[in-house]
Structure 1
Amino acid sequence: MPAFFGPDYSPKMVAAIASCTAAICRLDARFTVSSVASAWTRRAAWSGYAQALCLQSAEIDEIDVFSWGCGLQIPGRPLRSTTIDLFDRFAEWTTALGNHDPLAWRDSLPMAVSTPRVTLEHPALIRAIDQVCQHARIDATALPWLGLAFALRDMGVTATPVPCLAGGAKALRMKRRPDEGDWLAVLHALEAAARIGLERLQELERHHRKAQRAIVAQFRPGALPRLLALSTHQPLLSPQSVADRLGLTVAGASKLLDRAVASQLLVEITQRRSWRLFLAPDLARVFGYVKVPRGRPRTEAPPLPPSRDLAATFDAFDAEMEAIDRLLSSLPVGVT
């Protein structure tokens, strides 16, 4: 007999649930202790929102959401619609992500979204997806897909809302009872989002270590540490945006960006002398501006030997990271 709640627990379904849960837990465990958690959260929020817009059939790609978040228009990309505000839910969602009250999001859900006692016998992941399913049938906006990160937190799958774990499937809204294929599609998409999120977190941590080594190698770092801290939080930059954020001239910002490109910490994605744009190397590979290297990956350089001078340099760089984080958090959403 088919179950009245959740999917039919066939061996294939049980394996998918276990694999998806393991991927989410690996990301959550790594994310909560990462030294670049704040910068990664900002990037993951753009990725999660892009997935929610995709489920709303919005004609926009992930790179365009990153472009909007950084306040820059990438040449060659389609212009955003001026008749429909695709980002009307972003501010509300990011505010909820920063709210430390675990009941704030749950209390804002419609009264019809409930968790019967019988559901306690089912896996926490299934209960979280069902909560999104109930919300999606009531609310036709992207807010239910964005609520998956909070549902996973409420059900104990994650310790905190993970922004990149936003999504679902259109069948959760259109069908009264999703079939096995619909459940598997949601589980596989969620597992892929967790796996990609962990890979990007590792790349961002590698970028942070590479930035530290680049600062130490410079005879006179100057404003380079501030630029590298800014690029960690805001991966898409232009000379004008750097000049505005760091209080430099446009010419000085251009020279500073060239130093970062020479250290392989930024990639120029525009081949022109005016209105130049620069992107973090990991995202440049993801978005197709740089070819993905083939073969065995290069061995990362060994960590620098501990010393008092290096510790002071790294502490100063971390202080710059915190200052940039506070600066970007104080700006209006979508204006960076």
Structure 2
Amino acid sequence: MDNRPALPRFGPDYTPKMVAAIAACSTAIGRLDARITASPVAKPWAMRAAWSGYAKALQLQSGEVEEIDVFSWGCGLKIPGRPPLPSHVDLFDRLDDWRSALDNPDPLAWRDALPTAISEAIEAKDHPLLVRAFDTVRQLARIDHSIMAWLGLPFALRDLGLTATPLPCLAGCAKAFRLKSRPNEDEWLATLRALERAARIGLERLHGLERHFRNAQRAIAAEYRPGALPALLALIQYRPLLSPQSVAELLSMSIAGASKLIERASMAGLLVEITQRRSWRQYLTPDLAADFGYLPAKRGRPTKEPPPLPVDRDLASVFDAFDREMAAIDNLLTGVR
């Protein structure tokens, strides 16, 4: 007679490997959530993270698109050499709705919009919060076959208290959660490790964006007459992929003036050219240029960051002006997104 216990009806089998994966994933999410709540670049990071999360959701919908293609679309520039996106379908038709939901201060808005068929099982309270969040996405994915199911994971994590706000880079899940009523152990492990990796990359990119913010402050402080440089450096936070034409349009200046401004930012190490041609040049921030393969990945110990700038009344006014430029760019791009 077979006396083995029956398989649980909810969640995975809690083997030591599974428990370790759940703990590692929860820890990575907690670290990212703790850092983003106190970051001075939370808004531009959220914009970039939304592009990353949306790219993952598109891939789960079998969209032939990479993360760099979504960044290219979000910045309004076509990168030379990249294959064209499909023209018979609008891949980005749900992006604006999703970003509006992410910015919605009502914590119940997403949950109230779920189909009434989605509910937690009675035994769910005995399982880890991360498993319960994945089960909410699993139920939605089996009812709603659109991309919105995968975009719902950041809200499920927020609703269960794993994050303070929806973190858009944590969108996704696995196709198995839509196709199977009970994913197997390998599928659960792959999904947990993918989410952990997304949280770690999100934290690394947050650190990179904060480092870029500090370097921008140093570059402004080093200029005798910064002119429009603070406006450009604020724009870079939100639009990491730029061209002289796009800068001229957004900052209401001539293309020649925008080219000179970009050259100043490049000399300060805040932009790198990715096109290597004489006209229609495009520039990307160094951290994303490395992530997308335009620069070799840095190896070994990280370079030592310069010491903080001294506390000075004149510098304080410069930094306040830079913060105002950041707020102005945020308002400008919010109106045109």
What's the TM-score bracket when you normalise by the shorter of the two chains?
over 0.9
Q: How far apart are the structure 2 equivalents of 1:8 and 1:80?
A: 40
Determine whether 1:232 maps to 2:260: no
1:248-290 Cα shifts (integer Å, max 9, x gaps): 1000000100111011100111111211101011100100111
Which residue in the other structure is 1:154 paired with? 159
- Structure 2: tracts of 5 or more residues without a match: none
**Once the 2 structures are TM-superposed, how far is the Cα of residue 69 of structure 1 from its aligned partner?**
0.3
Are residue 48 (structure 1) and residue 53 (structure 2) matched? yes
Q: SS in structure 1 opposite 2:32?
A: helix
Out of 116, 121, 135, the position equivalent to 1:130 is 135
1:261 aligns with 2:235: no
2:79 paired with 1:80: no
SS in 2 for 1:164: helix
Q: Deviations over 1:186-237 (max 9, x none)?
A: 1000000000000000000000000000000111111000000000111011
Letter in 2 for 1:212: Q
1:52-83 CA-partner distances (Å, limit 9, x unpaired):
01111110100000000001000000112211
Show the counterpart of 2:144: 139
1:249 pairs with one of 230, 250, 254: 254
In structure 2, the partner of 1:220 is 225
Please list every run of 5 or more consecutive structure 1 residues that lacks an aligned counterpart in the other structure: none
Comparing 200-209 with 7-16, greater Cα deviation is found at 7-16
Give 1:67's aligned residue.
72
How many residues in Structure 1 have an aligned counterpart in Structure 2? 332
C-alpha separation in 2, matches of 1:186 and 1:158: 18
Percentage of pairs with the same residue = 65
- Cross-structure match for 1:109: 114
Pairing 1:197–2:202 present: yes
Query: After TM superposition, where is structure 1 displaced by more than 4 Å over at least 4 residues in a row?
Result: none
1:330 lines up with 2:317 in the alignment: no
Local SS of the residue matching 1:135: helix
> 2:116 is paired with a residue of what secondary structure?
coil
Q: What aligned pairs does 1:240-319 form with structure 2 within 5 A after superposition?
A: 240-319=245-324
Structure 1 residue 4, shift from structure 2 partner: 1.1
Q: Residue 9 of structure 1 corresponds to which residue in structure 2?
A: 14
Structure-2 separation of matches of 1:308 and 1:244: 34
- Alpha-carbon distance in structure 2 between the residues aligned to 1:307 and 1:259: 24
Structure 2 partner of 1:173: 178
Look up the match of 1:188: 193
2:234 aligned partner, one-letter code: A
Q: Matched residues in 1 for 2:139 and 2:335: separation?
A: 34
AA at the equivalent of 1:36? V
The CA distance in 1 between the partners of 2:298 and 2:9, in whole Å, is 49
Residue 28 of structure 2: which of 23, 27, 32 is its match? 23
> 3-state DSSP class of the match of 2:169?
coil
Q: C-alpha separation between the residues in 2 aligned to 1:305 and 1:145?
A: 46
Partner-residue secondary structure (3-state), 1:285: helix
Q: For the residues of structure 1 that align with 2:276 and 2:138, how far apart are their CA atoms?
A: 46
User: 1:296: Cα distance to partner?
Assistant: 2.0
In the aligned structure 1, how far is the partner of 2:180 from the partner of 2:271?
46
SS at match of 1:195: helix
Tell me, what secondary structure is at the counterpart of 1:147? Answer: helix
**1:295 Cα deviation from its structure 2 partner:** 2.5
Q: Secondary structure at the match of 1:326?
A: helix
> What is the aligned-residue RMSD (CA, Å)?
0.8
Counterpart CA distance in 2 for 1:169 and 1:208 is 35
Q: In the aligned structure 2, how far is the partner of 1:329 from the partner of 1:93?
A: 14
Q: Tell me how far apart the structure 1 counterparts of residues 299 and 63 of structure 2 sit (CA, whole Å).
A: 34
In 2: Cα distance, 1:16 partner to 1:82 partner: 39
Q: How far is the alpha carbon of 1:293 from its aligned partner?
A: 2.5
Within 2, Cα distance between the matches of 1:63 and 1:146?
18
CA distance in structure 1 between the aligned counterparts of 2:298 and 2:119, rounded to whole angstroms = 48
Deviations 1:128-159, CA, capped at 9 Å, x for gaps: 00000000001111111100000000111101
